[in-house]
């Protein structure tokens, strides 16, 4: 069967076509250039861009998969969580097409899509495993016992890791999105140069607000109203030391979760899963502990529609669908 997936939860307009669980197309239109000058996503602008781009992206995904809309058997769309205006664009389009074509439609939780993205590249992954969902809007650990069986072990109590990256990059006068820029800069810096704090909360929860404040205080030592940032501030060392603090916390908590749940498999999902240092450190630690690590490719770490289509397809195989009166929701636990 053919599944059309649609993703419009934030600032990527995406559509994908799957034949069963095989990806035939996965088209993503990024809005980074639109939001870059504002240093972050502007919800109203994001919604307008989705309105403009969604149908061309859907047409491209169908064309790339060599199928027509009449061939589609199921439409899967992100309906939560995300920017409500952006979600409304995708959900409205999905419901309209499902109604017009008289085919089933299913709403998908964005977080579940990220977690299941690994199953696209590793179809034999099986269950159970620990999943670290880490992105601009999410930082959480889950014990994944099966499809739809997700027990949250811990989550951030303030900033998500990706959000902290963007805010620190802004403090340093770097471009948005901050994650890739800081990742690149850190490769030329000394991760031990500055001892930034680690947010080791009890259990599996995370906190990055204190780390962000520590970076701000450090940068403030090199700031003046007249001259701005003092050239003596080594931005590369700040980037490397900040990243060391974030990654160390993420890796330590994830390994602890795997140990306490007794699983031998870990999935890392979400936009920050594309971070080179996180991938390196997580791979080293997993190998040291004899744990199998599943890291999706870069195209499946960012927001994309293939992961949404797969989640929808897997739930549909269990007989699940959504009613046409389903409405998007800005927040919802997984």
Closest CA to 207 of 155, 254, 268, 285: 155
Q: Helix, strand or coil for residue 189? A: coil
Q: Where are the domains of the chain?
A: 2-116+304-317, 127-297
Looking at residue 227, what is its pLDDT?
A: 66
Q: Do residues 198 and 249 lie in contact, with contact meaning Cβ atoms separated by under 8 Å?
A: yes
Burial 72-100, CB ≥16 within 10 A → b, else e: bebbbbbbbbbbbbbbbbbbbbbbebbee
Mean pLDDT, the chain, rounded, equals: 95
What's domain 127-297's superfamily in CATH? Answer: ATPase, nucleotide binding domain (3.30.420.40)
**Predicted local confidence at residue 216, as pLDDT:** 94
pLDDT band at 228 (very low <50, low <70, confident <90, very high): low
127-297 and 2-116+304-317 share a CATH fold: yes
pLDDT at residue number 223: 79
Predicted pLDDT at 246: 97
Q: What is the CATH number of domain 2-116+304-317?
A: 3.30.420.40
As a whole number, mean pLDDT of residues 159-182 equals 92
Q: In degrees rounded to 5, what are phi and psi of residue 250?
A: -60, -45
What's the average model confidence in pLDDT over 322-327?
96
Give the pTM: 0.94
Which of 1-5, 120-124, 130-134, 263-267 is the least confident region? Answer: 120-124
* Residue 267, helix vs strand vs coil: strand
């Amino acid at each position: 069967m053919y599944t059309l997936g649609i993703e419009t939860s934030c600032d990527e307009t995406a559509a994908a076509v799957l034949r069963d669980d095989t990806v035939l197309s996965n088209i993503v239109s990024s809005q980074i250039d639109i939001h870059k000058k504002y240093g972050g996503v502007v919800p109203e602008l994001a919604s307008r861009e989705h309105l403009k781009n969604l149908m061309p992206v859907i047409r491209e995904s169908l064309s790339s998969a060599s199928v027509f809309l009449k061939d589609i058997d199921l439409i899967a769309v992100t309906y939560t969580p995300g920017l409500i205006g952006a979600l409304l664009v995708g959900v409205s389009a999905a419901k309209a097409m499902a109604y017009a074509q008289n085919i089933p439609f299913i709403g998908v939780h964005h977080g579940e899509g990220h977690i299941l993205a690994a199953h696209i590249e590793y179809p034999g992954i099986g269950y159970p495993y620990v999943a670290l969902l880490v992105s601009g809007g999410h930082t959480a650990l889950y014990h994944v016992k099966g499809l739809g069986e997700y027990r949250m072990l811990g989550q951030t109590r303030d900033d998500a890791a990706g959000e902290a990256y963007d805010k620190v990059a802004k403090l340093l006068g770097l471009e948005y999105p901050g994650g890739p820029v800081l990742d690149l800069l850190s490769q030329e810096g000394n991760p031990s140069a500055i001892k930034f704090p680690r947010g080791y909360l009890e259990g599996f929860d995370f906190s990055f607000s204190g780390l962000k404040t520590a970076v701000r205080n450090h940068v403030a030592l090199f700031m003046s109203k007249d001259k701005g940032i003092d050239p003596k501030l080594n931005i590369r060392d700040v980037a490397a030391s900040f990243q060391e603090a974030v990654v160390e916390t993420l890796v330590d908590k994830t390994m602890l979760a795997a140990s306490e749940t007794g699983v031998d498999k870990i999935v890392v999902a979400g936009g920050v899963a594309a971070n080179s240092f996180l991938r390196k450190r997580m791979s080293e630690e997993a190998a040291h502990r004899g744990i199998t690590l599943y890291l999706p490719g870069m195209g499946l770490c960012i927001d994309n529609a293939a992961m949404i289509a797969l989640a929808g397809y897997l739930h549909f195989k269990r007989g699940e669908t959504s009613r046409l009166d389903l409405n998007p929701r800005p927040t919802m636990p997984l």
